[in-house]
A and B are shown apart, each in its own frame.
Chain A
Amino acid sequence: MEEINSLLQGFSVAMTPYNIGLMMVGVILGVLIGVLPGLGGANGVAILLPLTFSMNPTSAIIMLSCIYWGALFGGAITSILFNIPGEPWSVATTFDGYPMAQNGRAGEALTAAFTSSFIGALVAVLMITFTAPLVAKFALKFGPPEYFAVYLLTFCSFVGMSKSAPFKTVAAMMLGFALAAVGLDTVTGQLRLTFGQTELLKGFDFLIAVIGLFGIGEILLTIEEGLAFKGAEAKIKMRVVIDTWKQLPKYWKTSIRSSAIGCWMGITPGGATPASFMGYGVAKSMSPNGKNFGKGEMEGVVAPETAAHAAGTSALLPMLTLGIPGSPTAAVLLGGLLIWGLQPGPLLFQEQKDFVWGLIASMYLGNIAGLIVVLTTVPLFAAILRIPFSIVAPVILVICAIGAYTVHGSMFDVWLMIVFGVIGYIFKKLDYPLAPLVLALVLGDRAEDGFRQSMLMSQGELSIFFSNGLVGTITVFALLMLFWAPMKAGFNKLRGR
């Protein structure tokens, strides 16, 4: 059991008082970020990333990943108490969580949400602990064509899995690739798409895009809705927690189903948001209480929360093992790795054992810390939500501006952030998905490198992507994902006859 030993080693790295302190700070900041409109997991981590430049990478990633767990937990608070999803992945939680709160069962709903989040995360971390080393070992055999095929699979999955119109997904994604291409081409040394502007030489930093698209864009949407928070009272008594915990085991089937959906959707970059909807939908159709869903059924809170947290956590598996993030937040963490001087990918498991296993151990500890923090501090965060938006909004805008500035210490980036904010607002309203844009911006250069090297190996023959069993299988999978929607429609039509 090599993994167990490595994991214990990881615990010894993560369990220093300093790291545990950072964990608590991270979780609390994360819940705050998850609760406040305009700040979310991805842009919250992006804004705080520059603060960690001088920290040692292990402590830094522990803190940042805990912010992520905190944000995953925090989204549920606003959904249940205020019927306002703090994060996109907690939309499905509002369906049953808010009715429960209205019936005076807010404490139960919150406890159920937090506990199921925790269970979802735990299943995903267990999965990461035992499969990540295998995936990493396997991925060591990958050459450029295999890598490009995996990138292709990642991006095709977006097209297949997205709820948006497929061509909007493609357009958003290609826009990301185009932005990634701007600047110096590392292979030929030529300047691409800079049009003589010196600011564009270094290209677009995806952190700026994340802060603008998700931060500023979200604020604009919130303003438009003319937000006034009117919420249920929130207090969690210990007795309610215990009573709720006694009820939860009877939803074990739902938990297992949702965890499985979440893990799958996290690894293939479906992400937490579709996972939560899928978890809810599947539970609704399979549960004996399905027809009560939407009226305040606890199972309707358990299902999406478990799936969302499982997906959010397992999104780190491809990020660590292959260097391919499964979600925008994972992408930001990946950006962090690069900045701290670590090369994500299979070699990380051999060369940076302390880092990898410290992170995995911190996922266990961070989620326990998260569960304790959210169960005890809900009233505090609910109070923060009552601060009027006209105070919160300018402060968040200031935070976004500072965050954008600190990435490179450049004012141009702050302007860029505003432009991305407007784009984010328009795209959100037109149903262009933002996640593929961000991931394409992050992975663009490396996808291109993989493609170029493959083309060099084959002298320009695309058949290299089918040249052996491994790469061929991945490519076929990618194409299946790409044409998933029309295939499913066709299948349904045939069956309907």
Chain B
Amino acid sequence: METSEEKSATSVKMVDAVTAVVIFLVGALVIWDSWRLGAKWGSDGPEAGYFPFYIGLILCVSSVVNFVGALRDKSDESFVSTSSLKMILSVMIPTIVYVGLIGGVGPIPALGIYVSSALFITLFMKWLGKYKWPITIAVAIGVPVVFFLLFEVWFKVPLPKGPLEAAFGLA
């Protein structure tokens, strides 16, 4: 639902063209690596790069067509409005931090999946949903506990755990 007041962050045409270029580069990478491995007919049949070479080739050709198609697109339809982009980033960034917290990346300590999930749900509900504390805490603690019972106890599938589980002797 695009209204005239919403500012467009970028146009479909732009993203379409950039995507085509990226896919072209992927295709080129595939061709290059296949060529390195040998894309011809070896002594004992097709070499390792034989099949991927043509995949890369078709990838490049089709992305050229898509690139031209994108440039020919006369409309200046919006790909995403600035407000939507903000919404998406406000979900994406916490999600990335969340995944970082599960296993720990660089300076971020590994908290395990259960504690990270609780923090993630709390942040999401408080910040984006503006819920009151009692319901937020109930969901944020309830969901990981249910998953713990489901995975660790019932199905015996171990998920990443951190210092809290270790403190309880569950890790």
* Residues of chain B at the chain A interface (Cβ within 8 Å): 1, 12, 15-16, 19-20, 23, 26-27, 29-30, 33-34, 37, 41, 45-52, 55-56, 58-59, 62-63, 65-66, 69, 79-80, 84, 87-88, 91-92, 95-96, 98-99, 102-103, 113, 117, 120-121, 124-125, 128-129, 131, 139, 143-144, 147, 151, 155-160
Contact = CB atoms under 8 A, between A and B. Distances in A.
22 contacts: A51-B155, A167-B66, A174-B56, A178-B27, A178-B52, A190-B37, A193-B30, A220-B92, A224-B80, A224-B87, A225-B1, A391-B129, A395-B139, A398-B147, A402-B159, A405-B159, A411-B160, A414-B103, A422-B92, A426-B15, A426-B19, A429-B80
Given A411-B103, A429-B15, A418 B96 contact: yes
A415 to B, nearest CB: 6
Interface string A167-199: 110110011011001000101101011010000
A390 interface: yes
Contacts of B45: 452, 455-456
B125 A167 contact: no
Given A192-B37, A414-B102, A388 B129 contact: yes
B160 A405 contact: yes
A50 interface: yes
Interface in A105-157: none
A401 B116 CA distance: 11
Interface of A: 50-51, 54, 165, 167-168, 170-171, 174-175, 177-178, 181, 185, 187-188, 190, 192-193, 195, 216, 219-220, 223-226, 388, 390-391, 393-395, 397-398, 401-402, 405-406, 409, 411, 414-415, 418, 422, 425-427, 429-430, 432, 448, 451-452, 455-456, 460
A120 B56 CA distance: 40
B51 A171 contact: no
A390 B124 contact: yes
Given A394-B121, A406-B157, A406-B159, 15 more contacts: A167-B69, A170-B58, A171-B62, A177-B52, A193-B29, A216-B95, A394-B124, A401-B117, A405-B102, A406-B151, A414-B103, A418-B96, A422-B92, A426-B19, A460-B46
Contact of A193 (B23, B52, B59, B121): B52
Contacts of A220: 88, 91-92
Contact of A170 (B41, B62, B121): B62
Contacts of A181: 30, 51-52, 55
A384 to B, nearest CB: 14
Contacts of B37: 185, 190, 192
Contacts of A51: 155, 157
B47 A188 contact: yes
B33 A193 contact: yes
A430 B51 CA distance: 28
B59 A405 contact: no
Contacts of A168: 62, 66
